Structure 1
Amino acid sequence: MCAISGEIRFDGNKPNIGLVKKINQFQSFRGPDDNGVYCKNNLSFAHSRLSIIDLSDKSQQPMIDKIGQCVLVFNGAIYNFKILKKELEKAGFRFKSTGDTEVIIKSYLYWGEDCLQKFNGAFSFALYDLKKKIVFCARDRMGIKPFYYHKNSDYFRFASFLPALLLDKKIKTDMNPDALHFHFTLHGSVPAPHTIIKGIKKLAPASKMIIKFDGSTQITKYWELDSTNQHKNLSEEEYQQKITETLISAVKLRQQISDVPVAVLLSGGLDSSLIVALLVKNGITNLQTYSIGFDSVKGEIGDEFYYSKQVADMYGTDFKTFNVDNNQLLQRLPEVITKMAEPMSSADNSAFYLLSEQVAKNQKVVLSGQGADEVFGGYFWYQKMAQAKNSDNLQKFAPFYFDRNHQEYKTMITYKYQSNNGDISSKFIKNRLDNIRADEYINKVFNLDTTTLIVDDPVKRVDNMTMAWGLEARVPFLDHRLVELAAGMPSSYKLSQNGKGILKNIAKNILPKEVITRPKGYFPVPALKSIDGKLLEFMQDTINSKSCLERGLYKKNYLQNILKKPNENLTNINGNKLYQLTLLESWLQIHL
């Protein structure tokens, strides 16, 4: 994984190469091993490299193909690049490197924009085609890798880390009222193209963009998830077999395509434990696994070592645990927020950030279990939605997921920050649910979560917090083949056994029973869930700060009421409302 950036001028001027270099340096924590810059005529690209596939200079970026007259900056990994390379070699292409970067260029030269249909990976890239005089940009199907941009009449500029674009002081940093409504309704998720900053957008997952030097841009989707049942003839046992085979393939691909060792973040939950079991049972030896724990608070245990150690012992992994005391956790919260591309209000961010810091001392690549809950129905609110009797798609969703309804939102946010589009979150969700193709309502929800909401919560969280330390996290449960197979599967296979039933069946003979039957767990960070002491002081100081008061985002009465009972004001999915408000304000103070 890496960081990419660049500038395309529409006004005939040369790119601001000094600013492009500053942007590249600002986000170089994502790629600390090397960096490079390309500049010609009206375009400049920059790249910071995390060397994982083909460690030689032959895979340095920006990569220039003189014969094909293309220049590429690429962030991510193409897991099936070796298969594609063989196909391209048969077609007459010759390669100078042994990595996946050159395969993207040659794939584009052979298949054109349709090359995206060939890729199995996590990626964002920009490719300059000198012959056609266009820039071809794209983002992977699941939105695992980021692509932020700012466009005006004079230029287009892009980066992997939103705050890096704010080095351009000409960008208006006004807040986007629609994005603000999404943020406080959808648990921090802000669907593309919106971001919290009005002057910056993000390319949606499974999207491609063509940029021309006359200033015109065209964005289109190249993949849609179909949630109708494409395999109605399959029994549950046959589905289970196909899911198992596809998951094994996804896990092995992400473990094998690397020129450095690949470890696993082993939380002790079902998903990461399954990854470990499938790797070892399929011949992987000397596997490194890692887990983090925190101090217990008010009887809530701050680690899951009891479960993760069972799995590590069962499969003989080299298991390392890290303990973080609560004082360090609280002291470093502002540091965690600094590395957020966009504000994210889950306490899990701190856990991933501090775990990644330790793991990155010895590893460059890890596998993680993110995505399994969304694809296979692991969250408690899915059960409630499936049982809801209302005939309206929105009304079966909103009461169990929205952090607050529109009426509460209006009592919280001052008038000048409210959207002219009213309850835009409800409108957006209703439109998506009404138009997703599926045989069952709850499969519409899984589709929405997997393709839209997950992108801005667990997926972005894992990318931001691991890449903060130059650590690449790969997520096999979001392999598009697995997602497509699960999307139309009868929901009962997913919702059984209190969620993820089919995964629990797969795990029955290969994982300890306690790991399979335990209640759904969340990354335990109890010190950030109990709002008192130093954490409450931090929140009070932030909310009552001069910057917050001058910004005038929150209504005073709402703040006063929520500060009186900081632990009692929770969202429908048990998020702390005061934590949400504080997190956003802190992010704004750090980055604006």
Structure 2
Amino acid sequence: MCGIAGEIRFDNRFADVRLVADMAESQARRGPDGEGIFSLGGRCFGHRRLSIMDLSQRAHQPFIDNELGLGIVFNGAIYNYPELRAELMAAGYRFASHGDTEVIIKAWHAWGPKALDRLLGMFAFALWERDSGITYLARDRFGIKPLYYARNDERMLFASTLPALLKGGVDTAIDPEALHYYMSFHAVVPAPNTILRGVRKLPPGTWMTVHSDGKCEEKTWWRLSFERSAEDEGRGFDEWKEIVLASLRLAVERRLVADVPVGVLLSGGLDSSLITGLLAEAGATQLRTYSIGFDAVDKEAGDEYHYSDLVARHYGTVHEKIHIPAGDLLTALPEAIHAMAEPMVSHDCVAFYLLSRAVSQHSRVVQSGQGADEVFGGYHWYPPLTDVQQTDQGADAYRRVFFDRNHAEMGEILAPGLVSRDFSGEFLARHFALPGADSVIDKAMRLDTTIMLVDDPVKRVDNMTMAFGLEARVPFLDHELVELAARIPARHKIAEGGKYVLKEAARAVIPAEVIDRPKGYFPVPALKYLRGDFLDGIRDILGSRKARERGLFQWQTVDKMMESPDSHITKLRGSKIWQVALLEFWLQSHGL
């Protein structure tokens, strides 16, 4: 994985090579192994490389194919590139490298945009045609790899991180619609919006054609469907269980493709434990696993070492436990916030940041369990939705169990000029009205898998791991596995506390104690129950002159919340005060 950047001019001026170099340099932590710049008149492309496949200079980027008249900057990993390479070679294509980057160029030349359907993996890339002046931007099905852009009449800038675009001077005013999403969806801002009015992100499963005159066309090339055949509805539970395990086993094996060893972020929960077990089954030797823990607050534990130790012993992994004292957590918090491409309120961002720092000392690629709860129905808000039979009541039911605050409360905390419409409610209604999912529970799981997952757990893991040049792979987001899971009737997924079919499939692989344990979350209790130095830091940032003059919040309401921060917890057990403070922390961290 890497960092990409570029400028495309629409006004017949030369692209600014220095600017693109600066944007690429700002992403150096994503790609510590190399850098490259390629300029072609009004277009310039930059790249920072993390070497995972084909470690030689032959795979250096930007990658130019003069014979085909194509070039590319690419961030991600294509797991089936060896098979595609063999197919393309049989068709007469010649290769100069042995990695996945060149395969994308040849595949695009051979099949055009339909090549995207052939790619198994995670990716965001810019691919350009030398002679036509056309540039294509593309993003993988689940947006595992990010792609931000800013466009006006004169030019387009793009990069793997939002802060990189700030180098080019973009409109940094807060987008009121995005702010409404942020305050409703625990910091998730669905594409194409970002918290800044002048920056957008390419939606997952989308490609964009950028013409030299500034004309841009977007096309969605993949959508997730929850439609089921009669055969799907009639298939027995035991058969689904076997199919799920076979599909997940394949997803894990696919993500072993690398020229460096692959480890696991092992929390001790079902998902990461199952990945560890399947990797052991696949013959991974000297498998490295990593767990992290924090100090407890009140009676809430800060680690799950009991379960991660159990799994590590069971499979004989090379296991490392990393314990972070509260003081170190506070010290690292500003660094973790600065590493966010967008403000993310989840408590475990700093956990992933510190875990990634430690893991990067030993591994360059890890597999992680993100996505299983959304894909297999593991969240506590799913069972109540199965009781809602009237689909026209589905959006309201989802709002009641998921939203951080209703629109009335939004009017009490946001500045009056920022609450013109119920943007979040309107977004929810539009998404629930889309075809391809009939029941309320299927509509909710589709929304969580294709929207909420993308801009919370997936983005969190990408940002925090890439801050240390660590590539994280997520087998539960193998698109074939997700498409399979969408076809499974919801009753098989949400039964017995959720993820039922996955739990029962896992019994063939991992110890029952891990499967039957109470559900846990990545615990960082100090950011949920604000105390001491953490609370003082929040008071300082929210009391700062910049915060007060920014005009986003009604400070009388915020100050009252600060009197008893533990009383203001969202339905999903997050701190409402931390949500407000994190946004201000992030803005100030990037000089805004």
Task: Give the TM-score normalised by structure 1.
Answer: 0.98
Q: What is the match of residue 42 of structure 2?
A: 42
Q: What is the match of residue 187 of structure 2?
A: 188
Q: What is the match of residue 246 of structure 2?
A: 245
Q: Which moved more, 1:275-284 or 1:352-361?
A: 275-284
Q: What is the match of residue 325 of structure 2?
A: 325
Alpha-carbon distance in 1 for matches of 2:29, 2:284: 30
SS state at 2:451 partner: helix
Asked whether 1:466 is paired with 2:465, we answer yes
Question: Contact 1:294–1:525 at 8 Å: present in 2 too?
Answer: yes
Letter in 2 for 1:125: F
Q: What is the match of residue 295 of structure 1?
A: 295
Q: What is the match of residue 520 of structure 1?
A: 519
Alpha-carbon distance in 2 for matches of 1:486, 1:321: 33
Alpha-carbon distance in 2 for matches of 1:409, 1:552: 15
Q: What is the match of residue 500 of structure 1?
A: 499
SS state at 2:393 partner: coil
Alpha-carbon distance in 2 for matches of 1:251, 1:511: 15
Post-superposition shift, 1:236? 1.4
Alpha-carbon distance in 1 for matches of 2:523, 2:233: 39
Alpha-carbon distance in 2 for matches of 1:364, 1:322: 17
Alignment of 1:256-267 (within 5 A): 257-267=257-267
Question: Contact 1:229–1:438 at 8 Å: present in 2 too?
Answer: no
In structure 2, stretches of 5+ residues that fail to align are: none
Alpha-carbon distance in 2 for matches of 1:60, 1:389: 55
Alpha-carbon distance in 2 for matches of 1:217, 1:509: 50
Deviations 1:384-440 (A, max 9, x none): 22234665121110000000011100110102333x4x0011111111112141243
RMSD: 1.1
Post-superposition shift, 1:232? 3.1
Deviations 1:77-104 (A, max 9, x none): 0011111111111111111111000000
Alpha-carbon distance in 2 for matches of 1:492, 1:283: 34
What is the aligned residue count? 588
Task: Give the TM-score normalised by structure 2.
Answer: 0.98
Alignment of 1:474-553 (within 5 A): 474-553=473-552
Post-superposition shift, 1:503? 1.0
Letter in 1 for 2:258: S
Alpha-carbon distance in 1 for matches of 2:213, 2:123: 27
Question: Contact 2:388–2:394 at 8 Å: present in 1 too?
Answer: no
Letter in 2 for 1:540: R
Q: What is the match of residue 342 of structure 1?
A: 342
SS state at 1:213 partner: coil
Question: Contact 2:136–2:207 at 8 Å: present in 1 too?
Answer: yes
Letter in 2 for 1:22: D
Alpha-carbon distance in 1 for matches of 2:435, 2:297: 43
SS state at 1:29 partner: coil
Q: Identity of paired residues, percent?
A: 47
Q: What is the match of residue 399 of structure 2?
A: 398
Q: What is the match of residue 375 of structure 1?
A: 375
SS state at 1:407 partner: helix
SS state at 1:76 partner: strand
Alpha-carbon distance in 2 for matches of 1:152, 1:552: 26
Alignment of 1:91-110 (within 5 A): 91-110=91-110
Alpha-carbon distance in 2 for matches of 1:388, 1:527: 36
Asked whether 1:131 is paired with 2:131, we answer yes
Question: Contact 1:196–1:342 at 8 Å: present in 2 too?
Answer: yes
Letter in 2 for 1:144: I
Letter in 2 for 1:138: A
SS state at 1:157 partner: strand
Alpha-carbon distance in 2 for matches of 1:311, 1:63: 42
Alpha-carbon distance in 1 for matches of 2:394, 2:427: 12
Deviations 1:95-122 (A, max 9, x none): 1111000000000000011100100110
Question: Contact 2:389–2:439 at 8 Å: present in 1 too?
Answer: no
Alignment of 1:54-65 (within 5 A): 54-65=54-65
Deviations 1:42-95 (A, max 9, x none): 110000000000000000000000110001000000011111111111111111
Alpha-carbon distance in 2 for matches of 1:27, 1:82: 28
SS state at 1:379 partner: coil
Q: What is the match of residue 413 of structure 2?
A: 412
Deviations 1:482-539 (A, max 9, x none): 0000012100111012000011101123222221111211101122221111111011
Post-superposition shift, 1:234? 2.1
Post-superposition shift, 1:560? 2.0
Alpha-carbon distance in 1 for matches of 2:514, 2:344: 29
SS state at 2:124 partner: strand
Q: What is the match of residue 429 of structure 1?
A: 428
Post-superposition shift, 1:182? 0.5
Alpha-carbon distance in 1 for matches of 2:22, 2:589: 18
SS state at 2:181 partner: helix
Post-superposition shift, 1:558? 1.1
Question: Contact 1:436–1:447 at 8 Å: present in 2 too?
Answer: no
Q: What is the match of residue 142 of structure 1?
A: 142
Alpha-carbon distance in 1 for matches of 2:555, 2:355: 37
Q: What is the match of residue 26 of structure 1?
A: 26
Alpha-carbon distance in 1 for matches of 2:218, 2:289: 40
Post-superposition shift, 1:453? 1.2
Alpha-carbon distance in 2 for matches of 1:307, 1:359: 19
Question: Contact 1:243–1:486 at 8 Å: present in 2 too?
Answer: yes
Letter in 1 for 2:104: I
Q: Which moved more, 1:467-476 or 1:389-398?
A: 389-398
Q: What is the match of residue 285 of structure 1?
A: 285
Question: Contact 1:379–1:520 at 8 Å: present in 2 too?
Answer: no
SS state at 1:166 partner: helix
Alpha-carbon distance in 1 for matches of 2:234, 2:381: 29
Alpha-carbon distance in 1 for matches of 2:506, 2:488: 18
Q: What is the match of residue 74 of structure 1?
A: 74
Deviations 1:524-555 (A, max 9, x none): 11222211111110111111111111112110
Q: What is the match of residue 206 of structure 1?
A: 205
Post-superposition shift, 1:457? 0.4
Question: Contact 2:529–2:575 at 8 Å: present in 1 too?
Answer: no
Question: Contact 1:436–1:444 at 8 Å: present in 2 too?
Answer: no
